[in-house]
Amino acid sequence: MAASLRKIIHIDMDAFYASVEQRDHPELKGKPLAVGGDGKRGVVAAASYEARKYGVYSAMSSKIALQKCPHLIFVRPRFEEYKKVSLQIREIFSEYTDLIEPLSLDEAYLDVTHNKKQFPSATLLARQIKEEIKTKTNLTASAGISFNKFLAKIASDFNKPNGLFTIVPADASKFIDELPIKKFHGIGKVTAKKMHKLGIYTGEDLKKWKKNDLLKHFGKVGGFYYHIARGEDSRPVNPNRTRKSIGAERTFSEDLLEEQQMLEALEKITQKLSSILIEKNIKGRTVTLKVKYSDFKQITRSQTSIEDIQTKEDFTKVYVALLKSIFPLRKGVRLLGLQVSNLSSQEMSSKVGMQLTLSF
């Protein structure tokens, strides 16, 4: 079936972690809330809409968040509860279609071209899904509806929270032309700045560029930019998308300066990673070391092995070499992380497509 004939819904839960906490703790409703650690090295994992009004967002340091909102309330994350609610929502999706592509615990694509309810209208279907989520979980979701994944994803960001927005084929070209380039899904802040320097501020500006010129300035992804400027996205909703990587990281209360301290920290991270890999019968080939310095500058170092990596001993051989490559240190280290990719397993074809991050 041609991509233009698909009916795709993108469901995005509203401030998911924070909303679960406000649901389970009524005294937190209507208050600026951050899920994360409130220590001087803490990081915001999620922020309620009340906190966002003050400029508090996920991935922000807790220190900066408190500067922006001195009366911000911090709660510790409860990932097991978030996973439980996510499974409830997934069950609701499965009542409507089997073509479900989860992106994370709180968002997913649904192809409802041929749906179990035999609804001809994807918009009405999305409204019913939202209502069922509200009834069964007491949480709100935003839905974007369109004929491809790119436009459905963008549509779900409109009218948040509890939004519903549809982009039909007849309106797509005008919608994209008027869309600020910084709102394009797949174009981050750094790329948007680069585009601004080239005079690209809207979809209409981007559409004027030839494909070869975009490839020249942005590499392979330039081809993607060329097509999305024209509303073209042939990617299907893939319910069997495999997990790409498994990672774990740790932020320290004090900067690490000595190699031995870092080796001990990486050993603990490795224990977590290895136990998950063994439990899930997953192996990898590439290990990436993530290092964040005290000034928040971040680097990564990777190594790919010809042999499978799964056990603690496998990891140790690699991360010891990777760690040595960052010395002498440019600054103290506030965070270390390890990630394994190039994964393989007999079970992986049936696994959910998302990166698994282990929390400490």
DSSP count for the chain of H helices, then E strands: 13, 13
Residue ranges of domains in the chain, CATH in brackets: 3-14+80-168 (3.30.70.270), 16-78 (3.40.1170.60), 171-228 (1.10.150.20), 245-358 (3.30.1490.100)
pTM: 0.77
Catalytic residue (one of 81, 107, 131, 178): 107
**Which 3-state string (H, E, C) describes 120-149?**
CCHHHHHHHHHHHHHHHHCCCEEEEEECCH
According to the model, what pLDDT value does residue 186 have?
85
Look up 95 and say whether it is catalytic.
Answer: no
According to the model, what pLDDT value does residue 358 have?
37
- Type and span of the H or E element at 47: strand 44-47
**Nearest to residue 97, comparing CAs of 66, 75, 126?**
126
According to the model, what pLDDT value does residue 345 have?
63
According to the model, what pLDDT value does residue 327 have?
93
Sheet of strand 100-104: strand arrangement: 100-104, 107-111, 8-13, 141-146, 164-166
Tokens of 314: 């496998």
Does residue 50 contact residue 33 with C-beta atoms inside 8 Å? yes
Q: Mean pLDDT in each 10-residue stretch from start to end of the chain (360 residues)?
A: 73 97 97 87 90 93 93 94 96 97 94 94 97 98 97 95 96 96 90 96 97 94 95 92 82 91 94 86 92 91 89 90 92 94 61 37
